[in-house]
Amino acid sequence: MRQDAITCSLLGNLVEHTKTVSQIGASAVPEKPSGLRQTTLKNHIHCSGIGLHSGNKISMSLYPAEADTGIVFRRVDISGHRAIIPARFDRVTDTRLCTTLANDDGVKVATVEHLMAALAGCEIDNVLVEVNGAEVPIMDGSAEPFVFLIECAGTVELDAPRRVVQVTREVSIMEEAGEASLGPAEIEPSGLTIDLNIDFKNAVIGQQNLTVTVSSNSFKNEICRARTFGFLEDVEALHQAGLAQGGSLENAVVISGSEVLNEGGLRFKDEFVRHKVLDCIGDLYLAGNPLVGSFSGLRTGHDLHNKLLRRLFADRSAWNLVPLDEFVEMPTPQWQTEDQRAIA
């Protein structure tokens, strides 16, 4: 098989794009995309970067996958079946400053939320993600480098129908720190609408709100470039806790008092709430299928997002698994899906 290696430079990260004509099998559909079938990558692609919390250099490769595979992580530094970690809400084991997945053998992969958001925003259903360590590289702290990777790799439809999780009645989580709810879509069919409010004592952030109906266009134009953020005064405590070992001005917005320390400042005046929406999109894509419904959140984070999904799927009357072709009146399909093995 002939391979053409293409090297692309993005945001200071070296991204090696190995353009391989991948044989997805007889299930690949070459004609014009219908928007009603599952998708995967057309070619495999590789990148490397620093782990935000470990500080280690991490290599990551994305590979095409068969229909109904879903998003699956594989630790190449672990042998055998122990290396496989499905990207599902019921595999979340830690939500301190990131979302961490683990399998039954305790093998983990952390900081998956930005990649998951990019896969959701680019409407990718099935992909094998190989990493050589316990964390996804942070890149520049946003999902934009992952969107770039996916666009370089290209997408292809598979001969299998998509399904969405249609939220049919409201479920909610209310805690002292924040609250979140998922309910039916306000205008059917409308994909997933997110209404998120954040409230920080720091004056640089303060109170911010963003409401967005998630689609490929809205994600790429409004969400994917927003970076993770933190406070300079918290760095020492985080390091002592073994976290943020790889954090820097190259991969996070850093705030000190009333100043943003990054050269060039913010990418959006409300970059903070946009990044929180990005995190929410990635965490909710761990449902295993795109959600059709309305999310509302106040001061939410990875923990609340996961608790909300667990509550949703614990109540069988609150959701239906629906073929996407029942939503064919949608002007532009906003999500891609795979078979919901965990809940069907």
Joined together, the tokens standing for residue 10 give: 């993005």
In 3D space, the residue among 228, 52, 261 whose CA is nearest the CA of residue 141 turns out to be: 228
Under the phi-then-psi rule, with left for phi > 0, alpha for psi from -120 to 50, and beta for the rest, what region is 35?
A: left
Under the phi-then-psi rule, with left for phi > 0, alpha for psi from -120 to 50, and beta for the rest, what region is 139?
A: left
Q: Which residues of 223-245 are buried (b: 16+ CB within 10 A; e: fewer)?
A: bbbbbbbbbeeeeeebeeeebbe
Q: Which residues of 5-15 are buried (b: 16+ CB within 10 A; e: fewer)?
A: eeeeeebebeb
Work out the number of other CB atoms within 10 angstroms of the CB of residue 203.
9
Residues whose CB falls within 8 Å of the CB of residue 234, separated by 6 or more in sequence, listed in order: none
In 3D space, the residue among 112, 22, 127, 109 whose CA is nearest the CA of residue 72 turns out to be: 127
Q: Establish whether 302 is a catalytic residue.
A: yes
Give the start-end residues of each E strand in 257-341.
259-260, 291-298, 319-323
Separation of alpha carbons 335 and 165, rounded Å: 11
Residue type, 31: E
Backbone angles phi, psi at 177, to 5 degrees: -75, -25
Q: What angle do CA 166, 307, 334 make, to 5 degrees?
A: 35
Which among 53, 275, 302, 305 is annotated as catalytic? 302
Separation of alpha carbons 315 and 320, rounded Å: 11
Joined together, the tokens standing for residue 154 give: 């290209």
Contact status, residue 322 vs residue 163, Cβ threshold 8 Å: yes
Looking at the annotation, which residues are catalytic?
302
